[in-house]
A and B are shown apart, each in its own frame.
Chain A
Amino acid sequence: MTRSTRRPVFALSLVLSAMLLAGAAHAAVSNEEILQDPKNPQQIVTNGLGVQGQRYSPLNLLNTDNVKDLRPVWAFSFGGEKQRGQQAQPLVKDGVMYLTGSYSRVFAVDARTGKKLWQYDARLPDDIRPCCDVINRGVALYGNLVFFGTLDAKLVALNKDTGKVVWSKKVADHKEGYSISAAPMIVNGKLITGVAGGEFGVVGKIQAYNPENGELLWMRPTVEGHMGYVYKDGKAIENGISGGEAGKTWPGDLWKTGGAAPWLGGYYDPETNLILFGTGNPAPWNSHLRPGDNLYSSSRLALNPDDGTIKWHFQSTPHDGWDFDGVNELISFNYKDGGKEVKAAATADRNGFFYVLDRTNGKFIRGFPFVDKITWATGLDKDGRPIYNEASRPGAPGSEAKGSSVFVAPAFLGAKNWMPMAYNQDTGLFYVPSNEWGMDIWNEGIAYKKGAAFLGAGFTIKPLNEDYIGVLRAIDPVSGKEVWRHKNFAPLWGGVLTTKGNLVFTGTPEGFLQAFNAKTGDKVWEFQTGSGVLGSPVTWEMDGEQYVSVVSGWGGAVPLWGGEVAKRVKDFNQGGMLWTFKLPKQLQTASASR
């Protein structure tokens, strides 16, 4: 009888792919290119159009004067029966578009023609545990490789020209509830990923890998009490317990299943050399089981990219009792305050508050509501800590099966969920896809069981208005004022893009990709893509023309968890399509005064 073991993918495949690729014309993606994105608008090599994630393009061939002539040039179907939600942001390099679809699929498509170059379908086990649809948010590019995370919590590196696997690494055990849906990112030549699984009582963690071979470089838990590590020559070296020691902000053993999953990935600020990550809800949802602040749940973390050390943290919802994950993107931007440049970072939280932080140290500068109704807190104190409305915390179940139910706004799906906002360097405004909804929520008893949902709560979502839930808002991060708003019947669930052409793009569940005047909020263009748009649009320049692409395909968390809201969206059909538009050269106009 023989013995079998698994071991990491060896170098042979690397050698083989190198042989196959000898003489390939396309250049590898370098760290310099990643840092320059999107100053070189011929390509998009980062999630977020730049490592800071501002989603701002310096292109203005397309602008408010000629956007009416923006037209589709090709569309590409993801095919198969695996439609569901499509939430990727495409990347573009050397005329090839790289993107992901539902069920951990990756596509490489000719950006000029829409012709498929290759497709990779991850073979998923039957018992994956995604909390909120089988989505994926995109790839990272580095060297000659394409990276993405799978629903069974693996990182996979593909040859960018063939789509063949070069290496594959298990990041965490999917049977415990881990999965990956966010795009990984490259920081200083390291491949960084978080994990999802906060609904299953996992321990959130952020890990860095060597992109060439998948070797683990460091690991940082996002729950207080867990040891972080750096790895040298395959050996784990202790690098300090997150938060110093266990039990400071968690009672008993609950930190061992504390959640705080950094499921939405992160961004990088080269000016401070910090990785900025958000963390998810503490587990379980029933907050009476875990008195304390429950660090580092529902927080923003700044990490040293070299070893994963936490440099500072800001907790938006201490002792969360409403599933107000703190994962939403923290976007670096600079502004002038009385002639002094402020290195700030902004985030629009699930909990309904918009925060501006000093990104050099995580200190709170200001915060204000960005939705019309917030009931769980009456405001923020001088440090940005919420002033709770204790009547809005659902009651402890006690000896009953169910504690007292309360109505709370925003709903647990958040005043803003995963869909990334955009920051326009010309207008100085953030364009925030938000939703106006509330929920009835109550607590229930719960005990941890590996791989099972760990909530201890029940809930149902309710719209706050008859005629709209979604609101695209232009928000001034310095004055705290809302400059304009555009309402949408269904909840917004797609990312935002803004450009030097005074444009803001986003999609709707009703299937429209829409463009707005960045200054006034007037809708200046729309196109029906055939299914709900949840993806993040991109724009780039090719052959002297400006292109726009977005994925279309309804799904995501809203139809799964949306309660009364789900009724509003139940007739939206699923899809799986990549749409690409351009402004033909002959219709380009000089960018007029806007």
Chain B
Amino acid sequence: MNWRATFLLACWMPWAAQALASEPSNQKDPVPSVMWDFYHKQLLGQAAFVFDDRVKLLAPPFAEDARQVPLEIDARAFSGEVVRILAWAELNPLPRIVDFQPGERVLPWLSIRIRIEQATPLRAAVLTRDGLWHVGSALIDAAGGGCTAPSVVRTQPGWEEHLGEVLGGRYPRGDSSRLRLQVAHPMDNGLVSGIPEFFLNHAELQGADGQRLASLELYPAVSENPNLGFDIQGPGPTRLVLQDNSGNQFEAAVP
């Protein structure tokens, strides 16, 4: 991923002055974390940012089930301005959750379920057109072990038969509609002994004629049988195209 960091860094050169003005190091971290500097460098390429409570990161205060923690990322305060949303769990062994790039017809809002290994700060960094990262934060407490617990899916006989099956629907919400989906996939993260990585790593939401409405890179911090929710503006059928790291490809039509 170094190429990406370098690329971002290069892009940010014109905004260097602005970055200095925002004095990031003096900002107060709403969820003080020993890992912030590391991820600021590794994932954001040390680009300009603000801790911004307009980016809402909603998670339960305590993870009842550390393997299935519901998370809602809401950057609708920046509707029309959002380029990209990155989310991660700072103390996870595999921290990255999602790289979400909503297009014009998809609101900067995402619901997803994740695994957490221990109590951790969570982040959602929202890149707006002006080149600034707006970082939303939350803290979640947990008994732990969500990333290294054996899969539930795999104990069910015949799980391979259902691999990639998508359950879901689209529900009207005023001038938009909400798409809620669950995909059958073990999302093995490689941390359980003897089970290699096997996870959905790419999803694309497409419109009627195959144009891209949104794309997501998924990481193995996402829970098994991933749940995803999007808000879509305007009518017309949609399709979800999914791909895993073993090269399997799945597709679901959502009218």
Contacts and interface: CB of A to CB of B under 8 A. Distances in A.
Asked whether A and B interact, the reply is yes
Interface of A: 1-10, 12-13, 20, 80-82, 105, 121-123, 125-127, 156-157, 164-168
12 contacts: A2-B169, A6-B249, A9-B247, A10-B243, A81-B193, A81-B194, A82-B194, A122-B196, A123-B197, A126-B160, A156-B246, A167-B247
A7 B251 contact: yes
B165 interface: yes
Interface in B154-203: 154, 160, 164-169, 181, 188, 193-198, 202
B254 A122 contact: no
Contact of B251 (A5, A121, A165, A167): A5
B252 A4 contact: yes
Contact of B246 (A2, A7, A168): A168
Contacts of B255: 2
B194 A125 contact: no
B2 to A, nearest CB: 11
Interface in B200-255: 202, 241, 243, 245-255
Contacts of B250: 4-6
B196 A121 contact: yes
A4 B165 contact: yes
Contact of A123 (B198, B241, B253): B198
Contacts of B202: 12
Given A4-B165, A8-B249, A105-B196, 9 more contacts: A3-B253, A5-B252, A6-B249, A7-B251, A20-B3, A123-B196, A126-B160, A127-B160, A165-B247
A122 B169 CA distance: 32
B220 to A, nearest CB: 12
B170 to A, nearest CB: 9
Contacts of A10: 241, 243, 249
Contacts of A12: 202, 243
B175 to A, nearest CB: 23
Closest 4 CB pairs of A and B: A168-B247, A121-B196, A123-B198, A165-B247
B246 A165 contact: yes
Given A4-B166, A9-B243, A80 B249 contact: no
A285 to B, nearest CB: 29
Interface residues of B, number: 31
Nearest to A124: B196
A3 B164 CA distance: 11
B243 A121 contact: no
B251 A6 contact: yes
Contact of A125 (B3, B160, B243): B160
B164 A4 contact: yes
Contacts of A13: 243, 247
Residue from the set B3, B196, B197, B253 with the largest chain A CB neighbour count within 10 Å: B196
B167 A1 contact: yes
A157 B167 CA distance: 30
A156 B247 contact: yes
Contacts of B181: 2
A3 B252 contact: yes
Interface in B76-114: none
Contacts of B168: 1-2
B248 A164 contact: no
Nearest to B246: A123
Contacts of B197: 121, 123
Contacts of B241: 10
Nearest to A166: B247
B169 to A, nearest CB: 7
Nearest to A170: B248
A164 B201 CA distance: 11
Nearest to A5: B251
A268 B255 CA distance: 51
Contacts of A126: 154, 160
Contacts of A105: 196
A125 B193 CA distance: 16
Contacts of A121: 196-197
A121 B245 CA distance: 10
A436 to B, nearest CB: 38
Contacts of A1: 167-169
A80 B196 CA distance: 10
A361 B238 CA distance: 58
A2 B247 contact: no
A121 B167 CA distance: 28
Nearest to B255: A2
A164 B199 CA distance: 13
A164 B245 contact: yes
Contacts of A123: 188, 195-198, 246
A521 to B, nearest CB: 43
